[in-house]
Structure 1
Amino acid sequence: MRNLLLVFSLILFSPLVVTSFSPSLNDDVLGLIVFKADVKDPGGKLSSWNEDDNTPCKWYGVKCNPRSNRVSDLVLDGCGLSGKLGRGLLRLQFLRKLSLARNNLTGILSFNLAQLPNIRVLDLSDNGFSGLIPSDFFSQCGPLRSVSLAHNKFSGMIPESLSSCSMLASLNFSGNQFSGVLASGLWSFPGLRSLDLSDNMLEGKIPKLIEGLNNLRALNLRKNQFTGEIPQEIGYCLLLRFIDLSENSLSGWLPSTMQNLALCSSLVLRKNGFVGEVPNWIGEMRSLETLDLSANRFSGEFPDLIGKLQLLKILNVSNNALTGSLPEPMGISLNLLVFDISHNYLTGNFPSWIFNHGFEQVLLSDNKLSGSIDIAIDDSSLGNSRKKLLILDVSQNKLSGVIPSSVGDFSNLNFLNMASNSFRGSIPADILQLKTLGVLDLSENQLNGSIPSEIGGAISLKELRLERNFLGGNIPSTIKDCSSLMVLSLAHNAITGSIPASLAKLSYLQIVDFSFNKLTGTLPKQLANLVRLQSFNISENQLQGELPAGGFFNTIAPSSISGNPSLCGAAVHKSCPTVLPKPLVLNPNSTDDAPGISPQSFHHGKKILSISALIAISAAAAIVIGVVAITVLNFRVRSSTSNSAVALTFSGGNEFSHSPTGDGDSGKLVMFSGDPNFSTGTQALLNKDCELGRGGFGTVYRTLLRDGRSVAIKKLTASSLVKSQDDFEREIKKLGRLRHDNLVALDGYYWTPSLQLLIYEFVSGGNLYKHLHETCAGNSLSWNERFNIILGAAKGLAYLHLKNTIHYNLKSSNILIDSSGEPKVADYGLARLLPMLDRYILSSKIQSALGYMAPEFACKTVKITEKCDVYGFGVLVLEIVTGKRPVEYMDDDVVVLCDMVRGALEEGRVEECVDSRLERAFPMDETIPVMKLGLICTSQVPSNRPDMAEVVNILELIRCPSESQDESNF
């Protein structure tokens, strides 16, 4: 096979050899086999192509001329081919049609059509071709009838040689990056029927030469940078049926000659700068089915023309400056489906005839319409209307009255927006039972009553907005049945009761706003399992107790929970009270002998407690005293810290004392890379607005150096446990000397006895936890990205261990991702700042790493070594591959990730553990070995775990060999 391909190559690149071969050797077979060798065919579409065949006429995608038996058509659309276009195709000298659309082909075009002298149809659309089109590509294209290079990455100017294609009937260059002014020759194709140059960066004016395109049926110049007016000459292209000039910078009045375009069925001019009144002569374009004049500067009264356009299906005049009232229903086309007049200045009463017309979409928002909405429920004409209406938007008007329950009769309604009006009364339960409803917005009205329990009937609901009304009552537990819900906003009402635990079942929730209500009770712990949560605002309520631990709630903004004085947790800077055992209460009037207490214990009506009871009470008292003492100490430390922090402002570093001794009034700032050069300004260094997150060892803020570079500043919270200044600086300088591509660099520190700051490089891509657990499926990490993160983190840890540094606090939130996707290990070595490596103190500081901690932390006799990091790394590996947290809390169960994967491996179903968001787009010969490596790293016996250097070597062996380099272009 290789020898045969070598012969093919010689034939292709040596004309002397070609002329010496026997004519019986089929050039088409040779050319197609070499073409096949240059591409990848994952779907096996070209498996029937066999070099031993005498003719390719029966091959997949190949068609031959029955007279000459030579290849005339090669059509391989949507075959999943990738790679480059090889020169083999140039052997097909009788080829008339070449169509390779909807593949993954790449590279540049380095040949010209003169080498395919009979080509009539060329379709390379929907691929990844790039670069400039050679200036002579179209130099000899006389037979060419149709060419499509749409939806690639071509750039530069459209070559002037295109004007040589005098027989062109169809030209499609849409969806590329072409720029510059169009050559005049492009407007002189007398046979051109379709011209599509949309979605590029072309500029200049539309020339008057357009009149030369007198056979043109479709003109699409959408989304370019054309300027000036539409030339009058466009009215001479009498056969035009489709015109789209939208999203340009065109201006002026519409040319009156356009009324001559009697065959035009679609006129789309949105997002330009056209002015004046909407001309009445548009009513003479009787074939119009789509009229889109939106987002321009048209003014004057609503045009009285739609009654003449009896074929009209879509009317969009939104985002203009139209005034007056809506037209009467008489004469409106019965074919009209989309009626969009939103964002104008229209007045008058709401047109009730809207509901009798059979529209699919009615958009009247942002006008000045008034009155109530009246739906005649006994009108026989409503039958079809109820089934047709999909979208109703009457928001931002001056409508009043009650919302009619008959809106619920529109059984296919998908979008209902009645926000920003003056509707009153209760929410009709019938609306909430619409099974197709996806968006319901009734916000900013005067609605009262409670949210109907029928809300559970809206099973397709994705967005529910009821904020800024006068709603009361509880949040109905039936909301759990809205399983698709993504946005839930009930803010600024008078809703009472607790937040239902069933809310945690809404796994797609992203935005929740319950602020400014009267909610009470505690927050359900299960809310921490809402992995897609991006915002959860419960400010200004009466909630109490501890915030949920984990997930989004580890980094929740303080402003989202403010105004709840009884809430506690790190995010509100308030410790939760210790849960004490209930006090022992003895009833002196009881006649029953309590176990362990004799009747003689009572004397003269006074209680004489047993020894065990006294011990219990003494222990409880000691705990209370300890809690009070620690609280006072923390208060003093925080006060001192706050006083020290007040001086730290962005003023060029002048507020930092460089005194070698730290005292209460001044501190020592050291930058390992030179002067601090903090950016000037008034914002405090530890301003909450700059807060990035909180961890076991402190809070992290972001600030700028004078050169514009961002840095991250960690304020340590272990102030009372930190060593002396000398010991602190000795340890920090050791960490400052650690430099590796997969470590977050420590750039400096600030010291006072009551405040210690660590200055790190800023990593912009966020942490791994958010990438794994707080993104939707479409934005989740690919397998390649996950493997690179695993390998990079392993290299960073291996380097730390080489430098005799143990991380102690490894978890996904301490793996940061930089702008290029590379992982960087953060928070390493901070445990060395504690006065002694007491595992119980350490465990309390990094309790957020639950699930990552090696079992030896629970045993005093086992030494803490680098193998603890290896254990945490193993858990991290399983978390990355499965997309699941180390510990998942269910309603009545706790799932430990290591145990789950180990059980699945033993039962032969480990493939089921791979993150479903990868959608099988991963190599099993990598994922399964990586999971097995993770399980080995989490062995209960430390000596059975590999060291990190071995882990790096194993991962590099698991990595599949890189794909061979692509063949060079042509």
Structure 2
Amino acid sequence: MRILFGVSLLICLFPILVKSLSPSLNDDVLGLIVFKADIQDPDGKLSSWNEDDDIPCDWVGVKCNPRSNRVSDLVLDGFGLSGTLGRGLLQLQLLRKLSLAKNNLTGRISISFAQLSNLRVLDLSENSLSGSISNDFFRQCGSLRSISLAKNKFSGHIPESLGMCSTLASLNFSGNQFSGSLPPGLWSLHGLRMLDLSDNSLDGEIPKGIEGLNNLRGISLRKNRFTGEVPEGIGDCFLLRSIDLSENSLSGGLPSTMQKLTLCNDLVVGKNGFTGEVPEWIGEMRSLETLDLSENNFNGHVPDSLGKLPSLKVLNVSKNSLSGILPESMRNCVNLLTLDISNNYFTGELPSWPFEFGLQKLLFSDNRLSGNVDNAFASSLESSRHKLVILDVSKNQLSGEIPPSAGGFSRLHLLNMSKNSFAGSIPASIGQLKILDILDLSGNQLNGSIPLEIGGATSLKELRLEKTSVGGNIPTSIGNCSSLVSLSLAHNEIIGPVPASLAKLTYLETVDLSFNKLTGTLPKQLANLGRLKLFNISHNQLQGELPAGGFFNTIAPSSVSGNPSLCGASVNRSCPMVLPKPIVLNPNSSDADPGTIPQSFGHEKKILSISALIAIGAAAAIVVGVIAITVLNLRVQTSTSRSAASLTFYGGDDSHSHTSDGNSGKLVMFSGDSDFRTGTHALLNKDCELGRGGFGAVYQTMLRDGRSVAIKKLTVSSLVKSQENFEREVQKLGKVRHDNLVALEGYYWTPSLQLLIYEFVSGGNLYKHLHEESGGNYLSWNERFNIILGAAKGLTHLHQMNLIHYNLKSSNILIDSSGEPKLADYSLARLLPMLDRYILSSKIQTALGYMAPEFACKTVKITKKCDVYGFGVLVLEVVTGKRPVEYMEDDVVVLCDMVRGSWEEGRVEECIDSRLQGKFPVEDAIPMIKLGLICTSQVPSNRPDMAEVVSILELIRCPSGGQVESGSGMGSGSGSGLG
């Protein structure tokens, strides 16, 4: 407490003390203690600083002059200090070096270090200091020789007063936000040896007069916005060793005076707009070790004079318009380590001399090189110096076979030979590349199969063999490539199964096996690959059920399409199951033959058995299912009596029902009308199939009066409750009637087959209207609003009847002929034995993105608020026109997160469906988006009730009734966090 009080008193009295105290040893103690009071020291690095000490010379980071015992150096680099720079440092009058680099200091520099007349070195680099620097800051810069403010957040112009620091030898302002042009006085600093202004926003031309810096050793103006030409005077800076002018907008040619810079080691001018030929005089810069002319507009040939640069280690001329062949004189560049000539127009064969010198990086991609690579590869292996790490010859016109000698590049990390005309097979020697990270042979004309030896490349992270025409099986040895992250074998002739050994590759993120001839079932173990982001098996001949769990629960439908025998929710195709024997549908017939059709169907009697025996598998040939679906296809005519039926029919009230035997079914129509014109045909003919969902397939058929109905064949038979419970729940659903709900007309029951009969809605579902309509045939804003409002009303009615929908999504909202929405598939989870979260998520919630977070938490009760969450997603889907989950090439975008992020960043208008832009006042959609975000709150109690949602929507439609924000759940008190 005494120390804290003392420090506080010192801070208050500091201005008086500075004036009243005569210089003494205590001045340094006082200054350092006051400095410490202004900063935070979370790691306690300055704990040795004690105000009771007479001198601070033994304090951490402090160095004193041994003669005067005054502080000469204060070096606190990387101490983790934060806070601001206070006036205490000005008390250190004999300070020569102040280095506070690599800390977390913030704020502006409010003090002038020019008052420290003995200061030679000032290093404040790698902090978070900000603001502009006063133009007078360097007006009295004393004897400063080195200034580094690098890697902070300084902005504004570089002060003009900097030109008065005549003793300055090193200036580093890199990595800030300085703007404007260079101050002319900068070139008057004749003692300057190092100048680094890189990575800022400086602009204008490089001023003339640079020849005044005749002591300059290094200059870096990289990554700014400089324009114009390089001043001729740069050639008079004879001592220059390093020049970096890259990543600007400089133009013209390189000034010929630069040939006088015979001491220059590094010339880096990439990513500019330089033009003309690479000058012949470049060979006069005999000391060059790095020459980077990349990403400019140089043309013509590479000059022979490059052969005069024996010290050259790095040559990068990529991304220009150079042509011809590399000069043979470059054989003299015996120290070359990196050669990058990619993205030009070089011709001829692959030169062999670069492979002889022990280069580490060879990049020849995207040129017009031709011929084979045999001689070049052999040259490298014959040399005892081969150290090749990167070899890229992609996007050329190379041909011939990939030589087995490729396996001799034992230090190779990247081998890219893609997009050429290589033929033949993949050499088995590739497996000898033990430390290879990336192998890309895609886009060639290879044949044969993937060699079993590929498993020897155990360090492989990326394997790309797409569009190579390889065939055969995927070798099981690929499971030995334990580091594999990306595997692409698409567009080939590969046959056989997907090997189970892929499941051993725990780092796998992307797998593309599309457009091959793969067969068999997918190994169930693949579901254990926890890092998968893409698994594309589309357009093969795979069959059976997809692996359950993990990534495969949310796999994109496009990744599994084109496999006719695959089944599961993602392909919208139910897996086969064993069903009861065929049902005879003639409940009122007295005919002795229960398998006949009434005479009204035709002149001949036909058996209605619809057994469909599906043979799958090769060796096992297991019968997986006999599909027996018949639906209510007979006329009820009292004049036509046939044999006694095994199917019992009841119309209207079910109070007279009785139990049928185990081989017959029970049909109940709530309206009493059981006359179906083409019901059985509908189930036999896939043309009558309307679609498939998490509960089963839906077919269309017609009643006697010409009214269509939709029949859902449930595919959760093994999960459905007993007949008694099933019928009790269906009877409840049959009493639900609302204009915005699809009416349940009846049902059919056997222990292994259940059918639900619904009214037919002709306008298709909302998903197709939003995401599959082409051209200008899309929903208008008014149509979208009415659909949202109607869906809200239907959901509200369900909740008022104490029913939860559980499966709200755009494909379960049907549009009738008048444009009114009707909710389908509601409350079908009540037919299951328990509201198990796994069942709800895997069997019902087949569309990722609509499920409330409660489904992931077993301790949180599933309530009506789960429906509110799904409704919120639906609102955002309708307003944005985007799917709840979008699968990108290398990412997955969740709609709720994307819209919420845009809202927080003030870019919410960008989320509105682009097809609506200019078609309605954009501000009308903002309250809808806000409603959607509040409904999708992570906390259930923060979501409004559906009745409140309807009220809010009515307010949005008629805003005169009040502001949207005044509605329940829309204000700041809702806990949503939305402003």
User: TM-score, structure 1 length as denominator?
Assistant: 0.65
Q: Structure 1's 118 and 428: CA in aligned 2 closer, same or farther, altered over 3 A?
A: same
Partner amino acid for 2:795? F
From the superposition, tell whether residues 404 and 633 of structure 1 become closer, same or farther in structure 2 (CA, over 3 Å). Answer: closer
Q: Identify unmatched segments of 5+ residues in structure 2.
A: 582-610, 612-660, 667-678, 702-707, 711-737, 743-758, 803-807, 846-852, 863-938, 943-979
User: 2-side partners of 1:621 and 1:433: how far apart?
Assistant: 67
Determine the C-alpha separation between the residues in 1 that align with 2:111 and 2:481.
57
Q: Is 1:446–2:451 an aligned residue pair? A: no
Could you tell me how far 1:726 is from its partner in structure 2?
Answer: 7.0
Q: Which residue of 2 aligns with 1:410?
A: 409
* Aligned twin of 2:729: none
Once the two structures are superposed, the pairs formed by residues 687-726 of structure 1 within 5 Å of their partners are: 687=771
Counterpart check, 1:550 vs 2:617: no
Distance 1:98 1:660 in 2: 75
Q: Does the Cα contact within 8 Å between 1:99 and 1:121 map onto a contact in 2?
A: yes
Deviations 1:907-947 (A, max 9, x none): xxxxxxxxxxxxxxxxxxxxxxxxxxxxxxxxxxxxxxxx9
- d(CA) in 1 for partners of 2:54 and 2:235? 56
Match of 1:515 in 2: 514
Q: CA RMSD in A?
A: 4.5
Is 2:316–2:339's contact at 8 Å kept on the other side of the alignment?
yes
Amino acid at match of 2:528: N
Q: Find the counterpart in structure 2 of residue 108 from structure 1.
A: 108
* Residue 731 (structure 1) shift: 4.6
**Is 1:258 the counterpart of 2:258 in the alignment?**
yes
How has the CA–CA distance of structure 1 residues 9 and 205 changed in structure 2, closer, same or farther, with 3 Å as cutoff?
A: farther
Equivalents in 2 of 1:7, 1:143: separation in Å? Answer: 32
Note the alpha carbon deviations across 1:199-234, whole angstroms, 9 max, x for none. 111100011121211111101011111001111111
* Cα deviation 1:638-664 (Å, max 9, x = unaligned): 5779x999xxxxxxxxxxxx9999996
Match of 2:484 in 1: 485
1:152 paired residue number: 152
- The secondary structure found in structure 2 opposite 1:519 is strand
Q: Structure 1's 162 and 630: CA in aligned 2 closer, same or farther, altered over 3 A? A: farther
Task: Rate the CA distance shift 1:212–1:171 in 2: closer, same or farther, 3 A.
Answer: same
Of all paired residues, the percent bearing the same amino acid is 61
1:145–1:685: structure 2 CA closer, same or farther, 3 Å change rule?
farther
Deviations 1:751-777 (CA, angstroms, capped at 9, x unpaired): 757999999xxxxxxxxxxxxxxxxxx
Contact kept in structure 2, 1:661 and 1:668, CA below 8 Å: no
1:58 aligns to what? 58
Shift of 1:517: 0.8
- Residue by residue, what CA displacement relative to the aligned partner does 1:410-461 show, whole Å, maximum 9, x if unpaired? 2101111111111111111222221111111111111111111222221221
Cross-structure match for 2:717: none
Question: Structure 2 matches for 1:141-540, cutoff 5 A?
Answer: 141-328=141-328, 331-375=331-375, 382-386=382-386, 388-540=387-539
1:460 counterpart SS class: coil
Which consecutive residues of structure 1, in runs of 5 or more, have no partner in the other structure? 584-617, 646-657, 670-677, 691-702, 717-721, 736-744, 760-829, 853-865, 876-946, 951-970
Cα distance change on mapping 1:528 and 1:38 into 2, 3 Å: farther
Residue pair 2:538, 2:563 contacting (<8 A) in 1 also: yes
Contact between 1:667 and 1:750, CA under 8 Å: does it hold in 2?
A: no
Change (3 A) 1:750 1:546: closer
After superposition, the C-alpha distances for 1:512-563 in whole angstroms (9 at most, x for unaligned) are: 1111111111122332333332222111111111223333333332222211
- Residues 751 and 212 (structure 1), Cα distance of their counterparts in 2 relative to 1, 3 Å cut: same
Distance of 1:754 and 1:552 partners within structure 2: 39
User: Larger relative CO (CA 8 A, sep 6+): 1 or 2?
Assistant: 1
Residues 727 and 213 (structure 1), Cα distance of their counterparts in 2 relative to 1, 3 Å cut: closer
The residue number in structure 1 matching 2:72 is 72
Gap change, CA 1:571 and 1:318, over 3 Å in 2:
same
C-alpha deviation, 1:276, in angstroms? 0.8
Does 2:569 match 1:570?
A: yes
- Farther off after superposition, 78-87 or 170-179: 78-87
Measured in 2, the distance between the counterparts of 1:706 and 1:644 equals: 30
Which amino acid letter does the alignment assign opposite residue 344 of structure 1? N
Contact persistence 2:314–2:339 (CA under 8 A): yes
- Cα 1:22–1:406, aligned 2, differ >3 Å: closer, same or farther? same
Using a 3 Å threshold, how does the CA distance of structure 1 residues 851 and 41 change in structure 2: closer, same or farther? Answer: farther
- Native 8 Å contact 1:148 1:172 kept in 2: yes
Give the counterpart letter for 1:464 in structure 2: L
- 1:15 is aligned to 15
Task: Quote the residue 2:827 is aligned against.
Answer: 834
Answer yes or no: is the 8 Å Cα contact 1:357–1:385 preserved in 2.
Answer: yes
Deviation track 1:346-396 (CA, whole Å, cap 9, x = no partner) reads: 11122223322211111111111111112488879834333x111111111
Whether the aligned pair in 1 keeps the contact of 2:289 and 2:314 (CA below 8 Å) is yes
CA 454–579 in structure 1, closer or farther in 2 if over 3 Å, else same: farther
Query: Is the 1:385–1:410 Cα contact (8 Å) retained in structure 2?
Result: no
In structure 2, how many angstroms separate the alpha carbons of the residues matched to 1:867 and 1:254? 65
SS in 2 for 1:251: strand
8 A contact 1:640–1:754 mirrored in 2: no
- Aligned-residue offset at 1:88: 2.7
Q: Distance in 2 between matches of 1:870 and 1:471?
A: 47
What amino acid is the match of 1:536? F
Residues of 2 paired with 1:304 and 1:315: CA distance? 14
Whether the aligned pair in 2 keeps the contact of 1:156 and 1:177 (CA below 8 Å) is yes
- Residue 180 of structure 1 and its aligned partner are, at CA, apart by 1.1
Taking the aligned partners of 1:620 and 1:318, their CA distance within structure 2 comes to 78
Aligned length: 704
SS for the counterpart of 2:463 is strand
Distance 1:296 1:506, change over 3 A: same
Distance 1:69 1:537, change over 3 A: same
Letter in 2 for 1:201: S
Could you tell me how far apart the structure 1 residues matched to 2:770 and 2:120 are?
69
CA distance in 1, matches of 2:85, 2:397: 62
Say whether the 8 Å CA contact 1:307–1:330 is kept in structure 2. yes
Post-superposition Cα deviations, 1:464-494, rounded to whole Å, max 9, x if no partner, equal: 1111112111111221221221111111111
Shift of 1:8: 4.9
Shift of residue 93, structure 1, vs aligned partner: 2.2
The one-letter amino acid of 1:685's match is H
Decide whether the 8 Å contact of 1:252 with 1:275 is kept in 2: yes
Give the C-alpha shift of residue 326 in structure 1. 2.2
Conservation of the 8 A alpha-carbon contact between 2:381 and 2:405: no
CA distance 1:179–1:755, change in 2 (3 Å): farther
Kindly provide the amino acid, as one letter, of the partner of residue 513 in structure 2: F
> Hey, what does 2:795 align to over in structure 1?
728
CA contact (8 A) 1:485 1:509 kept: yes
1:375/1:39 CA distance change after superposition, 3 Å: farther
Listed as ranges, the matches of 1:79-94 within 5 Å are 79-94=79-94
How far the C-alpha of 1:508 sits from its partner, in A, is: 2.0
> Aligned to 2:251, what secondary structure does the other structure show?
strand
SS in 1 for 2:63: strand
CA distance in 2, matches of 1:324, 1:378: 24
1:687 is aligned with what amino acid? Answer: H
Contact 2:126–2:151 (8 Å) recurs in 1:
yes
For 1:526, give the aligned amino acid: Q
CA distance in 2, matches of 1:711, 1:508: 45
For residues 40 and 264 of structure 2, the distance between their equivalents in structure 1, rounded to whole angstroms, comes to 44
Mapped partners of 2:183, 2:510: distance in 1? 51
CA positional deviation for 1:297: 0.8
2-structure distance, mates of 1:175, 1:229: 24
**Deviation for aligned residue 1:130:** 1.9
Paired amino acid for 2:468: N
- Give the Å deviation of 1:635: 4.5
Q: Deviations over 1:317-360 (max 9, x none)?
A: 11111111222266421111111111111111222233222111
**SS of residue matched to 2:400:** strand
1:709-736 Cα shifts (integer Å, max 9, x gaps): x9999999xxxxx9xx97634357999x
Q: Residue 689 and residue 178 in structure 1: after superposition, are their counterparts in 2 closer, same or farther (change >3 A)?
A: farther
The letter for the 2-side match of 1:183 is: P
Aligned equivalents of 1:91, 1:12: Cα separation in 2: 15
